[in-house]
Amino acid sequence: MIVTAEGPLADAPAAVTAAPRRNSRAPGRRLRRTFFFLWKFYAGVMLCLTLGGAIFVVGWTYRLVQRSVLRSWWRRSGRILRGESFVDFVHDRGSNEPRAQWPNWILGHGCRDLLARRSEFTFATFSGRLGRELFRSLWLNLRIGVQGIFNTFLLTAPAGVLMLFSWYDGWNNSFSKGYEQAVVGPLTGALGIILFIVAMLYVPLAQARQAATGEWRAFHHYRLNWRLARRQWAAGVFIAGCYSLFTIPVAAERVLPMFLPQIHPSLASLTNEQAAKVLGTYFFWGSFVLFPLYVALRLMAGRIYATALLAAVKSGAVAPDELTTWEQTELGRLGFVPDVPVVRRHPLVRVAARTSVLSMQGAAMAAAVVLWFTAIAQTYVAQFLNYLPLSGWLNQPLVQLPSVRFIPPHLK
C-alpha cells in the first residue's frame, strides 16, 4: 500500500496475491532490465529538453529517491541476513509496490498484475482500473513533480528574482552612469546570493524528505529538517561540493554555444532554421549529461536524509510523533522505531558533546557556504559568457527544473 498524505493511493483489493518472484539472474531477465533501464534513461533525457517535461523528471526522480531511501533503511535493518531480498520486503506488503523497481514514466506498476487477474473483475471494473493504471505513473510523476518544484521555487525563486533584478538594474544603471544609485544593483545581487546560499543549506534535505515521504508538507517541517541537516554537517559539505562540481559541466553546456562558431567557423553562417536545428541537437546530447547529474544529486540527498533520520530516531533525538505517517510506517516495519523511550545521556555529558559538535557544525556550515557560493558564482560567469534573459537567473537546472535547452526567440 502506498501511503500519502491524502491516504492510500492504490485501490488495492482486500486480499491481494503477491506477485510471483522472478529469478533476477536469468539472462532473459537481465536483458529485459537493461532494455527498461535504457528506455527510462532515454525518456528522462528527452523530458529534460523542455521545462514542462522537466516537471515529470522531478516527479520521477522523487519517486526514485523514495525507493532509494526505503532500500537504504532496509539494508540497515539486518533483514538481508535472514535471506530476505529487497523485492521480498516490498512484496510482503501484499501488492505490487512500485518501489520494487525503478519508477515507470507512464504505466502504473499494477498493470501486469491487473492483466493477470482480469478474470476476477467485471468488464466495466477491469476497464476502469486498466484505464487508471495505464497512465498512473505519468500522473504521479506530474503531481509529485508539481509539488516538488512548487516547494523548491518557494524557497529559491526569491533569490533568483533578486539576482535577475540586480543584473538588469545594475548594468542599466552603469550604462547610464547613475552614480547616485550605483549601490542598488550590487547590493541587491549580494542579497540574492545570500538568500540562495541560505536556502541551499536547507533545500536539498527538505527535497529529499518530501520525495521520500511523498508528502509535500514534509518540505516545510523547518525545525525537524534543519535538525536533520545539522546532524549531517559533513554530508552537507559533501553535497554542496557535489552541487558545485556538477554545476561545471552544466554551466559549460550553457556557455559552449557562444564559442561553437569559433570552433567550427561554418556555424557562423547558419540560417535561423539551421541554427535552431543545431542547437536542438546540441542540447539533446547535453541532456545526457544533465539528467544523470540531476538524478545523482537527488539520490545523494536521499541517502543523507535516510542516514540522518535513522540516526536521529535511534538516538531519540527525533520522537516518533514528529515523523510523518510514511516514516512511522516504514521505520516501524523495519523495527527502527523504539518501543520504549530511549534513555538520554546526563545533561552535562550532552552539553560537553554538543559544544564540540557545535564548533564542527560551524566550520562545516562555513565550508558549505563557500561551496554554495562557488556554485552560484558559476551562474554569473555563465551569464556573462552567454546571457539567457530569464531562465539564466530563475532556473538553476540542478536545483530546480532540470533543463538547460534554450533556443533564442529570434530563431523560432
Question: Which residues are at the interface with another protein (CB under 8 A)?
Answer: 167-168, 171-172, 174-177, 179-180, 257-262, 265, 267-268, 270-272, 274-275, 278-279, 282, 383-389, 406, 408, 410-411
- Between residues 249 and 408, which has the closer beta carbon with respect to another protein? 408
- Between residues 123 and 175, which has the closer beta carbon with respect to another protein? 175
135-173 as b/e, with b when 16 or more CB fall inside 10 Å?
ebbbebbbebbebbbebbbebbbebbebbbbbbebbeeb
| Closest CA relative to residue 404, chosen from 392, 387, 386 | 392
Give the shortest CB-392-to-another protein separation in angstroms. Answer: 8
- Between residues 119 and 269, which has the closer beta carbon with respect to another protein? 269
Give the shortest CB-403-to-another protein separation in angstroms. Answer: 15
| Grid cell 539528467 in the structure block, residue | 291
d(CA 396, CA 160): 9
Give the shortest CB-273-to-another protein separation in angstroms. Answer: 10
- Between residues 160 and 302, which has the closer beta carbon with respect to another protein? 160
d(CA 103, CA 269): 44
- Between residues 222 and 259, which has the closer beta carbon with respect to another protein? 259
The set of cell numbers assigned to 9 is 493511493
Give the shortest CB-155-to-another protein separation in angstroms. Answer: 26
d(CA 402, CA 389): 17
The dihedral built from the CA positions of residue 228, 232, 235 and 236, taken in this order, carries a sign that is: positive
Give the shortest CB-159-to-another protein separation in angstroms. Answer: 19
Give the shortest CB-80-to-another protein separation in angstroms. Answer: 52
Give the shortest CB-81-to-another protein separation in angstroms. Answer: 57
Secondary structure element (H or E) that encloses residue 4, with its range: strand 3-4
- Between residues 180 and 339, which has the closer beta carbon with respect to another protein? 180
What residues contact 168, with CB distance under 8 A and at least 6 apart? none
- Between residues 256 and 357, which has the closer beta carbon with respect to another protein? 256
Instruction: Name the burial class of residue 259, with classes exposed (0-12), middle (13-18) and buried (19+) by CB atoms within 10 angstroms of its CB.
Output: exposed
